Amino acid sequence: MLSILIATRNRISYCKAAIELILSYDNQEFELVVHDNSDTLELQEYLDLTGNMDDILEQMTSTSKALFNMYLNDHPNINWREWPAEEIVKPKRKPEDSKLTKEQLSKMTTEEMYNFFRCLEEPYPNGYIEDEKGKLFIKQVSFKKYE
């Protein structure tokens, strides 16, 4: 597994861009550690990824609104202009991309299973385990980490 460490202080926009780039890679075999010494909590709010997909999407929405309002307050004299449209097309996730084999499952920790399945809740094709008898769909998961 690859470990990626980002150390930052008051460079939130650069850190966010780096995080988004790292998360865009197809390879899921990495851990991302962000150490932030900023004077504000902006990055901490941005990085809260606890809970299931509903929790994460709700947090992302509220954080985006808060950050956008903070930016507008910090820059009240923005000169708005039109930008050329960009077409970014990523392949749509297929249901078979959500499959976890018994072999993969047997090699994962409970936290790895949680992270796999929590990212495959509605509206995405639900994660599932399949054998000769059928498919077990995992629609929502929760995880309690031992202290």
Percent of the chain residues past pLDDT 70, beyond the cut: 87
| Among 33, 49, 48, 37, residue whose Cα is nearest residue 12 | 37
Average pLDDT (127-137) is: 87
Average pLDDT over residues 113-121: 81
At 41 the pLDDT is: 66
Q: Tell me the C-alpha to C-alpha distance, in Å, between residue 83 and each of 51, 80, 86.
A: 36, 10, 9
pLDDT tens-digit map of 40-89: 766 766 666 666 667 777 777 777 777 777 778 888 888 878 888 878 77
pLDDT at 140 over 80: yes
Task: Kindly write down the DSSP assignment for every residue of the chain, as one continuous string.
Answer: -EEEEEEESS-HHHHHHHHHHHHTSS---EEEEEEE--SSSHHHHHT---S-HHHHHHHHHHHHHHHHHHHHHH-TT-------------PPPPGGGGEE-HHHHHTS-HHHHHHHHHTT-TTSPPEEEEETTEEEEE---------
Q: What is the pTM of this model?
A: 0.43
Q: Is the pLDDT of residue 112 over 80?
A: yes
Question: In this predicted model, which residue has the larger pLDDT, 1 or 111?
Answer: 111
Lowest-confidence pick of 25-34, 43-52, 84-93, 104-113? 43-52
Give the per-residue pLDDT at 34. 78
Q: pLDDT confidence of 107, banded at 50, 70, 90?
A: very high
Tell which wins on pLDDT, 28 or 76.
Answer: 76
Interior CA angle at 84 toward 78 and 85, to 5°? 115
Higher pLDDT, 37 or 130: 130
Whether 3 and 33 have beta carbons less than 8 Å apart is answered as yes
